Structure 1
Amino acid sequence: MSAYNFGPNHPMSPLRLDLTAALARELGIFELPQVEVIPAYVASDDELATVHTREYIAAVRRVGEDPTLSDHAHGLGTEDDPAFAGMHEASARLAGGSLLAADAVLGGSVQRAVNFGGGMHHALPEKASGFCIYNDPALAIMRLLDSGVSRVAYIDIDAHHGDGTERVFWEDSRVLTISLHESGMTLFPGTGFANDIGGPNAEGCAVNVALPAGTSDAGWLRAFHAVVPQLVAAFGPDVIVSQHGCDSHRDDHLTHLNTSVDGQREAALSIAALAEKVCEGRWIAVGGGGYNVVSVVPRVWSHLMAIAAGKPVPLRTAVPETWRAHVAEKYGRVAPLLMGEDADTWWRSWEVGYNPSDALDRTVMATRKAVFPLYGLDPWFD
């Protein structure tokens, strides 16, 4: 998977995947008896074409075969998505990982599957965008639908709006897309506001919570719990697909949110519990953004995998010394001592009241007013 590499100066470093896999291995997650690690495969053109245009797939192949080319019409060879040798194969392998996850859940051999190398949620059917070439969450959802699943809920907690996945299913009432992200007023891609609720044939099937810059764990989790559980329960999906970009962390240099590793672990626990409640535990989780590649990404995604395996890692667990030594020796970086940050993740329930003078509450209420009535829910009290 680390062949998905835009170059040494690009924020999306494949180092984050290497260090995540190494940390999960040192923590014993991959060796748990209920865990199976399966290598991803390169998705075929026919599989990719369930979401992407044939013309775009051919363009990715062409640029990957000759990285001196650029194709800005398809978003390739740009500053965000530089061309690199083998671009098609590397991108299609990330997609293949999420398709494998979908197939495992469809086959009934597992309830939960994780592809931490996936989460490329900005990719559009006809164009690369925001470090994303092929939209693996959308491909996994389409695989579920094409295989007879009636309804899928997609929950995106990346700091950036999940615009590509939302676009694919904008007119599809079988898919509920919920994106909890920093407001487009301050962050790429500049979209995803409360009144963006889906196309005429799927009103209420796109849900957006545009968080103010600076939102911390308390506000982030308050917003999540004021919107996500109610709508997912009302929608009644057969499977939940979630995107766990961890760039909302306070130490991520590309965004302006203020969450912690502890808060993101709490969100993953909440999604796992929601899957148990509404769809018999069927849950596919993918990675996404995350640019603090030593201190944040490996811990957050290791927590995610442990939660999916039903063996959450306590926050006060020591980071394995072998992994810390590996980070120091190979990369010259100082790794964290614990799997958590001793953050305060207390959040105020919506039931205690709405504060109109609070910017976070105003954005949550805007989303609830736009969507809740479409599900028979009261935006003030439910």
Structure 2
Amino acid sequence: MCKYIYSDDLLQYRFGNHHPFNQMRVKMTTDLLRATGTLTSDDIVIPRIATDNEIMSIHRRDYVQLIKQISKEVTVPTERLQKYGLSTDDTPTFAEMHEYSKRIVGASLTAVDLVMSKETNIAVSLAGGLHHGFTGRAGGFCIYNDSSIAIQSLINNYNQRVLYIDTDAHHGDGVQESFYHSNQCLTYSIHETGRYLFPGTGRFDERGIEEGFGYAANIPLEPFTSDESFIHCLNLSLRRVIESYKPDIIVSVHGVDGHHHDPLTHLSLSMFSFQSVPRLIKSLADEYTDGQLIILGGGGYNIWNVVPKAWAHIWYAVKDLPPPTGRLPEAFIKQYEHKSKENIFPYWHDPTCPFILRTDSITESNKIILNRVLNYFK
């Protein structure tokens, strides 16, 4: 059984009209799934709003108080804002920031509530996955780290042993930081190497500290990595990690900014990877966690021709439906073609796939990193 957490209120988390982070992608995904007939009103759960105490299970009080001040339009010196990772090009401030951020966190906590109460095995909240939020600092379009807060709830309230899986093109640095000292959550991130991409972290030798040593796994991939190498590295490393760790539940972030049409990263994945990833993770949940799985969104910045289709594949996967093919529903095309700043490609597959130079050397470099990580989990 699967549930889909959504409300139009989640779209109010917004940095401005010209910012690359645009939650309209969540509505577009929802509308696409509705148009296919695979998502009905019976599947959708309206999210609750997180409490301040739930947010402070991860975030420092002084940071939360600052976000609340900004939300009330209290004037705060720029130097102080920047100390907390705010008032930057990536993470500018906006009115009601605290309230709208609480809704994103509340949606992810609703997913926790649904799975832990046995109302469903799988809960999907695509508005979440804000994995760059640190305990006392914003970053990378993320104010509150809903992923970390959801994991902390699973640990504190349900004594769960959590495997966090992050397939976003950017390293899941905020979640790793939250649990870098903990052995109750193993954080796994497969991403483009930080040599060239924000946030610059996620080396293979970042493994945790103190009780958390050995409970962080990172697979940094070369720029222009394509489907075959990505899926190979993901499949082998993730199976080795889950066999070693034996979690009670999986929380996964499904950023789709590794697609070759995404404007912010340098991976060269096609829609095939985004069909494959959720199916692999669901199969692992079925095998190792009695089907318990919480799925969050993450990055993805081509909202017209990538994100809705890629995220729709998640729903098809968890519902055990075959991947959709052919033409997109006409109702969806008509709903959005006049709003798009680019032509909407009206098919489920990609319009073009780039020719990648040095494919063999990229693959070999990725295998070297993969083998080093596999050695950690013998």
> Which amino acid in structure 2 is aligned with residue 339 of structure 1?
W
Report the equivalent of 1:193. 203
TM-aligned CA distance change 1:111 to 1:11, over 3 Å: same
Work out whether 1:222 is the aligned partner of 2:222. Answer: no
In 1: Cα distance, 2:221 partner to 2:250 partner = 22
Work out whether 1:93 is the aligned partner of 2:132. Answer: no
In 1: Cα distance, 2:183 partner to 2:134 partner = 19
In 2: Cα distance, 1:142 partner to 1:128 partner = 18
Give deviations 1:140-180, integer Å, cap 9, x for gaps.
Answer: 11111112233110000000000000100001101111000
The structural deviation recorded for 1:243 is: 0.3
TM-aligned CA distance change 1:296 to 1:356, over 3 Å: closer
The structural deviation recorded for 1:219 is: 0.8
> Which amino acid in structure 2 is aligned with residue 58 of structure 1?
Q
Report the equivalent of 2:356. none
The counterpart of 2:70, out of the listed 56, 63, 71, is 63
The counterpart of 1:30, out of the listed 35, 39, 45, is 39
Q: What does residue range 223-372 of structure 1 map to in structure 2 within 5 Å? A: 223-314=233-324, 316-341=325-350, 358-369=364-375, 371-372=376-377
Work out whether 1:41 is the aligned partner of 2:48. Answer: yes
In 2: Cα distance, 1:271 partner to 1:219 partner = 17
> Which amino acid in structure 2 is aligned with residue 299 of structure 1?
K
Say whether the 8 Å CA contact 1:268–1:307 is kept in structure 2.
yes
The counterpart of 2:114, out of the listed 67, 85, 104, is 104
Say whether the 8 Å CA contact 1:153–1:237 is kept in structure 2.
yes
Work out whether 1:176 is the aligned partner of 2:176. Answer: no
TM-aligned CA distance change 1:310 to 1:343, over 3 Å: farther
In 2: Cα distance, 1:242 partner to 1:110 partner = 16
Compare 331-340 and 71-80 and name the one that shifted more.
331-340
TM-score normalised by length of structure 1:
0.90
TM-score normalised by length of structure 2:
0.91
TM-aligned CA distance change 1:343 to 1:67, over 3 Å: farther
Q: Which runs of 5+ in 1 are unaligned?
A: 345-353, 378-382
Superposition CA RMSD, Å:
2.0
Say whether the 8 Å CA contact 1:327–1:333 is kept in structure 2.
no
The DSSP-based 3-state class of the residue aligned with 1:103 is helix
The DSSP-based 3-state class of the residue aligned with 2:164 is strand
Work out whether 1:10 is the aligned partner of 2:16. Answer: no
Q: What does residue range 123-142 of structure 1 map to in structure 2 within 5 Å? A: 123-142=133-152
The DSSP-based 3-state class of the residue aligned with 1:334 is coil
Say whether the 8 Å CA contact 1:42–1:90 is kept in structure 2.
no
The DSSP-based 3-state class of the residue aligned with 1:153 is strand
Report the equivalent of 1:162. 172
In 2: Cα distance, 1:332 partner to 1:209 partner = 35
Work out whether 1:50 is the aligned partner of 2:57. Answer: yes
Instruction: Report sequence identity in percent.
Output: 34
Q: Which runs of 5+ in 2 are unaligned?
A: 1-9, 354-359
TM-aligned CA distance change 1:356 to 1:88, over 3 Å: closer
Give deviations 1:311-359, integer Å, cap 9, x for gaps.
Answer: 3433x24211111111112335422222233999xxxxxxxxx999811
The count of aligned residue pairs is: 360
In 1: Cα distance, 2:181 partner to 2:232 partner = 29
